[in-house]
């Protein structure tokens, strides 16, 4: 992938990110709940308005992996919660387009994300991952994340069991 590069997302990327996120969320989780719940999750978390809101928030980091001027991967990091350790950030989204799975992009995108976070004085990252997503869990474990608890992620009105995973930087 000779023309792979990384850049920060900008507000003008909202439509393309919404398309990317929707397509990849459906590929990964479209089977996990009812069509109504999946559609609600897409609207709430991945639609254009949700992307515009995230991109308008300067505290949220959106790193895009670009190949041939298209989004091939996205990592989003949210700031620490107000009542938590100020050096403990959330890796809230980490997706590689299905067309690029198995091409070595995910580890490179993760390394780029970790470099960005170290430069911002992050000491750890946490994420939640659906317990049914064994491929994602294995990937995160290979990247040094460890299961540290459980949480619930809502897909529409259906609760999904997620693992909490953390990585010290």
Instruction: Please state, in angstroms and rounded to a whole number, the distance separating the CA atoms of residues 57 and 14.
Output: 13
Of 2, 20, 4, 3, nearest in space to 106 by CA: 4
According to DSSP, the β-strands at 70-78 and 61-67 are antiparallel
Give the list of residues 6+ apart from residue 88 with CB closer than 8 angstroms, or none: 80, 122, 123, 124, 125, 126
Domain ranges of the chain: 5-168
CATH class of 5-168: alpha beta
Instruction: Please state, in angstroms and rounded to a whole number, the distance separating the CA atoms of residues 29 and 24.
Output: 8
State the pTM of this model.
0.93
- One digit per residue, the tens of pLDDT, for the chain of length 169 reads 568 999 999 999 999 999 999 999 999 888 889 999 999 999 999 999 999 999 999 999 999 999 999 999 999 999 998 888 999 999 999 999 999 999 999 999 999 999 999 999 999 999 999 999 999 999 999 999 999 999 999 998 999 999 999 999 9
């Amino acid at each position: 992938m000779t023309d792979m590069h990384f850049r920060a997302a900008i507000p003008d990327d909202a439509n393309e990110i919404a398309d990317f996120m929707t397509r990849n969320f459906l590929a990964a989780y479209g089977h996990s709940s009812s069509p109504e719940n999946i559609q609600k999750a897409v609207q709430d978390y991945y639609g254009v308005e949700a992307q515009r809101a995230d991109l308008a928030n300067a505290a949220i980091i959106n790193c895009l992996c670009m190949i041939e001027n298209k989004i091939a991967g996205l990592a989003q990091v949210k700031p620490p919660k107000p009542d938590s350790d100020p050096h403990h950030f959330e890796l809230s989204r980490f997706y590689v387009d299905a067309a690029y799975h198995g091409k070595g992009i995910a580890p490179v995108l993760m390394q780029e994300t970790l470099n960005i976070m170290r430069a911002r004085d992050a000491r750890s990252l946490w994420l939640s991952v659906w317990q049914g997503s064994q491929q994602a869990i294995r990937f995160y474990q290979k990247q040094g994340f460890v299961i540290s608890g459980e949480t619930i992620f809502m897909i529409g009105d259906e609760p999904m069991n997620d693992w909490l995973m953390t990585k010290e930087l």
